[in-house]
C-alpha cells in the first residue's frame, strides 16, 4: 500500500499531509514534484492544501494545468484513489475531475476555525470507517471554500449520494450551497473536501476523527491491490 503526495511550489499543508500519512500508514509517502509527468505505481494520490502557484489567478486554476495533472487524470480514470484537501479540492474541480467550483467565502474573509462535519455517505472508499449521519469536529482554513454547482449538477450529486461531507449544526463557514464540505466523483474514487482531516489525527490535535478517513482509504486500496 503506497500513497503519493503531489507537491506544488506553494503547497503548504503538504508537510502536515506527509506526516499524517506516515503516522497512519507506517511509512512515508512517495513525493511527486509538480513538473513530473510520470507517477510511480501508487494506490492513493493526495493533492494537499496550500496555495499551489500563489492562487493569484483563481485558486487551483494554474495548478490544474500543470504537467503532473495530466497523469493524475489518467490514474483517476483507471480507478486509482485520489484525495484533494482544501487547495487540492480546488485543483480537482479546476481540473474537471470533480464537478462544481469553489468560490470566495461568502464572508469574503479567510476563515480558520473548528466546524462540525456530518458524514453523509459512509459507504465510500474514504468513509467506510465512519457511519452515516456521524458528526465529527474538523478544522477548516481557507479563503475560497464556498462550493457552488448549477441546479442540475447539484441534483445529480444529491441523487447519487456524491455529497460525502456536509457542514452540520449551522457551522457552514463559507456559504457553500447545501452546506457541502466534500464531494466524491460518480465512480467513487476521487474525493475533494475543504476541511483538514490531516490536522485531526493525534491526541495533540484535540481529536483524532480525521484518522478514520485515511484508515478507510488505505484499507480499501490495500484490499484492492491484494
Partner 1 sequence: MTVTNTFPVTPELVEEHGLSQEEYARIVDLTGRKPSFTELGIWSAMWNEHCSYKSSKKWLKTLPTTGPRVIQGPGENAGVVDIGNGECVVFKMESHNHPSFIEPYQGAATGVGGILRDVFTMGARPVAAMNALRFGSPDHPKTKHLVSGVVAGIGGYGNSFGVPTVGGEVNFHPRYNGNILVNAFAAGIAKTDGIFLSEAKGVGLPIVYLGAKTGRDGVGGATMASAEFGEDIEQKRPTVQVGDPFTEKCLLEACLELMKTGAVVAIQDMGAAGLTCSAVEMGAKGNLGVELNLDLVPVREESMSAYEMMLSESQERMLMVLDPSREKDARAVFEKWNLDFATVGKTTDDLRFRVLHQGEEVANLPIKELGDEAPEYDRPWVEPESPPVLEPHAVENTGDYNKALLDLLNSPDLCSRRWVWEQYDTLIQANTLQIPGGDAGVIRLVDDQGEATGRALAFTSDVTPRYCEADPMEGGKQAVAECFRNLCAVGAEPLATTDNLNFGNPEKPKIMGQLVFAIKGIGEAVESLSMPIVSGNVSLYNETNGLGILPTPTIGAVGLIEDTSKIASIGGANDGDVLVLVGLEATHLGQSLYMRECLGLETGAPPPVDLMTERMRGEFVRAAIGSGQVSACHDVSDGGLAIAVAEMCMASSKGAVIELESDQPHAALFGEDQSRYLVAVPQDYADMLAANAEGSGISYSRLGTFVGDRLTIGDYVSISIEEMKAAHESWFPEFMDGKPQELQAAE
Give me the active site residues, please. Answer: 86, 196, 198
Query: Which set of grid coordinates corresponds to residue 46?
Result: 493526495
Q: CB under 8 Å to 18, separation ≥6 — which residues?
A: 5, 28, 29, 31
The continuous run of DSSP H or E covering 72 comes out as helix 67-78
Q: Which of 113, 131, 151, 159 binds partner 1 (CB under 8 A)?
A: 113
Q: Which of residues 61-100 bind partner 1 (CB under 8 A)?
A: none
Burial category of 151 from C-beta neighbours within 10 Å (exposed 0-12, middle 13-18, buried 19 and up): exposed
DSSP string for residues in 146-185: EEE--HHHHHHHHHTT-EEEEE-TT--SS--GGGEEEEE-
DSSP state of 26: S
Q: Considering the complex, state which of residue 59 and residue 216 has its C-beta at the smaller distance from partner 1.
A: 59
* Part of the chain binding partner 1 (CB under 8 A), chosen from 39-47, 54-62, 183-191, 216-224: 54-62
At closest approach, how far in Å is the CB of 144 from partner 1? 12
- SS3 at position 118: strand
* Part of the chain binding partner 1 (CB under 8 A), chosen from 70-78, 92-100, 134-142, 211-219: 134-142
| Phi, psi angles (nearest 5°) of residue 137 | -80, 150
- CA 202, chain centre distance (Å): 19
- Residue 139 as a binder of partner 1 (CB under 8 A): the answer is yes
Query: Which set of grid coordinates corresponds to residue 97?
Result: 475531475
* Part of the chain binding partner 1 (CB under 8 A), chosen from 10-18, 91-99, 152-160, 178-186: 10-18
The continuous run of DSSP H or E covering 35 comes out as none
- Residue 20 as a binder of partner 1 (CB under 8 A): the answer is yes
Q: Which of 58, 122, 137, 215 binds partner 1 (CB under 8 A)?
A: 137
At closest approach, how far in Å is the CB of 51 from partner 1? 5
* Part of the chain binding partner 1 (CB under 8 A), chosen from 8-16, 76-84, 127-135, 177-185: 8-16
Total length of the chain: 226
Q: Which of 25, 42, 46, 55 binds partner 1 (CB under 8 A)?
A: 55
Which residues lie near partner 1 (CB under 8 A)?
A: 9-10, 12-13, 15-16, 18-20, 22-23, 28, 50-51, 53-56, 109-114, 137, 139, 141, 143, 170-171, 196, 198-199, 202, 204-205
Amino acid at each position: 500500500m503506497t500513497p503519493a503526495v503531489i507537491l506544488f511550489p506553494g503547497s503548504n499543508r503538504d508537510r502536515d499531509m506527509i506526516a499524517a500519512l506516515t503516522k497512519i500508514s507506517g511509512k512515508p509517502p512517495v513525493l511527486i514534484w509538480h513538473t513530473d509527468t510520470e507517477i510511480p505505481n501508487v494506490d492513493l494520490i493526495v493533492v494537499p492544501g496550500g496555495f499551489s502557484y500563489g492562487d493569484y489567478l483563481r485558486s487551483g486554476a494554474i495548478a490544474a494545468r500543470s504537467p503532473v495533472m495530466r497523469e493524475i487524470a489518467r490514474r483517476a480514470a483507471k480507478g486509482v484513489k485520489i484525495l484533494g484537501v482544501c487547495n487540492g479540492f480546488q485543483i480537482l474541480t479546476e481540473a474537471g475531475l470533480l464537478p462544481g467550483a469553489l468560490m470566495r467565502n461568502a464572508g469574503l474573509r479567510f476563515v480558520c476555525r473548528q466546524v462540525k462535519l456530518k458524514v453523509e455517505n459512509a459507504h465510500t472508499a474514504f468513509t467506510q470507517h465512519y457511519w452515516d449521519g456521524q458528526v465529527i469536529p474538523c478544522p477548516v482554513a481557507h479563503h475560497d471554500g464556498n462550493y457552488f454547482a448549477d441546479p442540475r449538477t447539484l441534483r445529480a450529486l444529491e441523487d447519487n449520494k456524491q455529497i460525502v461531507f456536509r457542514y452540520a449544526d449551522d457551522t457552514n463557514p463559507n456559504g457553500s450551497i447545501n452546506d457541502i464540505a466534500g464531494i466524491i466523483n460518480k465512480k467513487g474514487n476521487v474525493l475533494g473536501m475543504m476541511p483538514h482531516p490531516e490536522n485531526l489525527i493525534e491526541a495533540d490535535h484535540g481529536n483524532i476523527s480525521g484518522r478514520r478517513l485515511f484508515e478507510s482509504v488505505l484499507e480499501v486500496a490495500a484490499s484492492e491491490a491484494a
